[in-house]
A and B are shown apart, each in its own frame.
Chain A
Amino acid sequence: MKRVLTLMLVVASVAAIAVTAGGATAASAKKQDTNLSGAGSSFVFPLVSKWIPALGSAYGYNVSYAPTGSGAGIAAVTARTVDFGASDAPLTADQAAACKGCVQVPWALSATSIAYNLPGLNCILRLTGPILADMYLGNVTVWDDSRIKQINPKCTLPSTKITPVYRSGNSGTSYNVTDYLSAVSPTWKSKLGVGQSVAWPAGVGASGSSGVAATLKKTEGAIGYVDVAYALANKIRFASIQNASGKFATPGLRGIDAAAASLPKKLTGDGAFSIVNPPKGNPLAYPISTFTYVIVPTSSSKAADLRKMVYWAVTRGQTFGAPLLFQKLPLQVQAFAFKQIKQINS
């Protein structure tokens, strides 16, 4: 027993020496490394993952990002356990107050897809906002409902029961979807409203995009929502949604760009821009598009580096988005972002 202990001690000390030595050489090799940690939105994670190596080679930043969900990201930056948070939903008044001197910067633009599990369906499903609202309200319960049939004349829809799947807990994707449903359905607006979590009256909750995807995959007749990058990466089928012009649009780059075109030329306010259900005149517009935000404390020891990082993200960083279905920020949003970034100072 004693010999075993001695042996373990020797092994442990050798390991410790190796680790400290290794650490020392690594540190001396790249002295100007700055660690920047972030957490939050899983929506923007695919894009941030592309940014991390690029930021490393451009500025020597060592950025880490945990896709814990928008709610958790807001909580983490409020508690200052990370250097920046990311959320697909703008801060609420109480959250902004709790964060004490945080600024939110729109830094990416994409869309939420409406995914479904209907094996053997011979077409791409089309949906309208009011039908989607009624599915989530529990009013439209079967797939061969006359309203769904009417807009899908070429599909043979099964009589399977509809199981709406929503995100449990607080989610920026839920915010985007409820924002859209409130815009298209007065019943939704008055009964449930907009929020990172609402009192879902029907269906099943699942945690995270991956939880929604898992539930979708295992439940025939399920309908759910995930960000389009996630749907694409996991080969999930998604519906085309009718916009205000009466056309059925898909969450592609053109659809997102057309939705963002509805923004006014001059932007003011605290940085929360909604582009769901854009008005008539953009026949390509995908109606469930959204900006997603980075939340940065205005004063911190790393403020100068954070400012540089966010500036890079809203300029150079935008060119990385296309393969992941992130559209470039419109010029006026970029200009607004610059204004917000100026508030970050050390």
Chain B
Amino acid sequence: MSTLTPDPAAPAAIERRGIRLGDVLFKGVAAVAAVGVAAILALLTYKIFALAWPAMQEFGLSFIWSQDWNPTTNVYGALVFIYGTIVTSFIALLLATPLSIAIALFLTELAPKRLASPIATMVELLAAIPSVVLGLWGILVFGPWIAQHLEPWLQSWFGFLPIFSGDPSQAGVLPAALVLTIMIIPITSAICRELFSRVPRDLTDGSLALGSTRWEAIRRVAIPYAAPGISAAVLLGLGRAFGEAIAVTQVIGSGNQINRSLFPPGDTLASRIASTYQGAGSNIEVQSLLYLGAILLVISLITNVSAQVIVNKFQKARRMSTG
């Protein structure tokens, strides 16, 4: 604005006072911080690829679609873990997104204030549980409960689906996906709550005044208004789910096969790295684990970039429709 029309009220002296030390310092610190973070990301990516390079040369791109992971023959492939990462994260997202939106709507639109704030705090406290503690609970309580109750129940109703076939198991892909769901709900629901509380009252009130019901106002006004933010929140949750290692390691059972059913053990990229990096028997195993790390890094970068693209697209569309 100042470039177009200089503020007539501002004293001319300020503009002419020149550069002060504080400004220079601040600018310098800010620039170093920003460039430093970018440099760390670049160096880290470089280093991981450089360290994984021998494995990349040895196995090539076929590493990505090979199912073998055999430390005794030193033949490695990532498909089991890529599959495990995508399936557990996708299920977690599928469950967490509607739940988070429902929690956020309940807290902003429906719940009485006296109830809303303690519940909101509780949901956010869920995020404060260290993942290793959640994993322990998964081993001792949640996993056995899933194997004894949830999986038999799913099987009796939906057993015709291959994903719910086979024997129940307390460690497996399904328990891992459910633990991830619990981990990402606080993140996505907190962001969604923030988004819904920012929907202008005028819009919803207007909608209600025009005769729409509460539900219609939420569906036609609040949700479309918050949509870009929700999709960004979902992708943030996805990033968290992709990278979670410890809790997943504790409940996924470190299987070495791809199964059609969700009950048997599997493994994810992050949890395989966490469980076998220490004491890996050979250099090529270490390099292959770093190769897994590189794949995880690329997948995460792609999700983050697509999150930004989606948000941008939504915003453009909104500007078009309103302006």
Q: List the interface of chain A (C-beta within 8 A of B).
A: 68-75, 87, 92-95, 98, 161, 163, 168-170, 192-201, 203-207, 211, 214-215, 218-219
CA distance A42 to B177 in the complex (A): 30
- What is the number of contacts between chain A and chain B, taking CB atoms within 8 Å? 107
25 contacts between A and B (CB under 8 A): A69-B279, A72-B278, A74-B278, A75-B277, A92-B281, A92-B282, A98-B283, A163-B167, A163-B169, A169-B249, A169-B278, A169-B279, A170-B279, A195-B72, A197-B71, A197-B276, A198-B71, A199-B71, A199-B256, A205-B265, A206-B139, A207-B249, A211-B250, A214-B139, A215-B139
Given contacts A206-B171, A207-B250, A214-B140, contact A201 B278 (CB under 8 A): no
How distant is B294 from chain A, measured CB to nearest CB, in Å? Answer: 21
Interface centre among B144, B250, B256, B278, by most chain A C-beta atoms within 10 angstroms, is: B278
Q: Are B167 and A218 in contact, with the CB atoms below 8 A?
A: no
Beta-carbon contact of A169 and B276 below 8 Å: yes
B255 lies within 8 A of A196 (CB):
no
Task: Decide yes or no: A71 and B70 within 8 Å by CB, A204-B265, A218-B170 being known contacts.
Answer: no
Whole-angstrom distance between the alpha carbons of A102 and B280 in the complex? 17
Report the minimal beta-carbon distance from B49 to chain A, rounded to whole angstroms: 21
Q: A206-B171, A206-B253, A214-B139 are in contact. Are A198 and B279 (CB under 8 A)?
A: no
A72 and B71 form a contact (CB under 8 A): no
**B255 and A72 within 8 A (CB):** no
Q: Is B257 an interface residue (CB 8 A)?
A: yes
The answer to whether B167 and A161 have CB atoms under 8 Å apart is yes
15 extra A-B contacts, CB within 8 A, seeds A170-B279, A199-B72, A201-B257: A68-B278, A70-B279, A72-B278, A72-B279, A74-B279, A94-B281, A95-B279, A163-B169, A168-B253, A194-B72, A199-B68, A204-B170, A205-B275, A206-B171, A215-B171
A196/B278 in contact, CB under 8 A: no
Known: A92-B281, A170-B278. A204 touches B171 (CB 8 A): yes
Cβ A199 vs Cβ B280 within 8 A? no
B98 to chain A, nearest CB (A): 31
Contact B279 A196 (CB under 8 A): yes
Is B255 within 8 A of A205, CB to CB? yes
Please determine whether A69 and B255 come into contact, CB atoms closer than 8 angstroms: no
* Contact across chains for A200 and B281 when beta carbons are under 8 A apart: no
Report the nearest A residue to B76, measured CB to CB.
A199
B69 adjacent to chain A (CB < 8 Å): yes
**Interface pair A205/B253, CB less than 8 Å apart:** yes
Residues on B with beta carbons closer than 8 Å to the beta carbon of A73 = 279
Nearest Cβ on chain B to A146's Cβ, whole angstroms: 21
* Cα–Cα, bound, A69→B280 (Å): 12
- Closest CB-CB distance, B199 to chain A, in whole Å? 36
B147 beta carbon closer than 8 Å to chain A: yes
The listed residue (A163, A170, A198) touching B280 by CB distance below 8 A is A170
Name the A residues within 8 Å of B143 (CB-CB): 218
Mask: chain B, 283-304; 1 = CB below 8 Å from A; 0 = not? 1000000000000000000000
CA distance A71 to B278 in the complex (A): 5
B100 touches A (CB below 8 Å)? no
Contact of B169 among A70, A192, A204, A207 (CB under 8 A): A204
| Chain A nearest CB, measured from B52 CB (Å) | 16
Using CB atoms, name the residue of chain B closest to A175: B281
Contacts of A214 in B (CB 8 A): 139-140
A205 / chain B contacts, CB cutoff of 8 Å: 171, 253-255, 265, 275
Point out the residues of chain B lying under 8 angstroms from A207, CB to CB.
Answer: 249-250, 275
Q: Which residues of A contact B282 (CB under 8 A)?
A: 92-95
In angstroms, Cα B275 to Cα A68, docked, is 12
Distance A73 CA – B253 CA, assembled complex (angstroms): 22
> When chains A and B are docked, how far (Å) is the Cα of A94 from the Cα of B281?
7
- Using CB atoms, name the residue of chain A closest to B69: A199
Q: Is B5 an interface residue (CB 8 A)?
A: no
Which A-chain residue is minimally distant from B148 (CB atoms)?
A218
User: Cβ of B73 < 8 Å from any Cβ of A?
Assistant: yes
B278 touches A75 (CB 8 A): yes
Q: Contact: B254 with A170, CB < 8 Å?
A: no
Shortest C-beta distance, B288 to chain A (Å), equals: 13
Closest A residue by C-beta to B276:
A169
User: Chain B: which residue is nearest A93 at the CB level?
Assistant: B282
Cβ 8 A contact of A201, one of B171, B256, B276: B256
Residue in A161, A168, A198, A204 whose beta carbon sits within 8 Å of that of B70 in the complex: A198
Contacting pair B275 A168 (CB below 8 A): yes
Cβ–Cβ < 8 Å partners of A161 in chain B: 167
Q: With the chains together, A169 CA to B277 CA distance in Å? A: 8
Chain B residues near A219 (CB-CB < 8 A) = 147, 169-170
Residue-wise, chain B 241-279 has the 8 Å CB interface mask toward A (1 for contact) of 000000001100111110000000100000000011111
Q: Closest residue to B271 on the A side, CB-wise? A: A168
Q: Which residues of A contact B171 (CB under 8 A)?
A: 204-206, 215
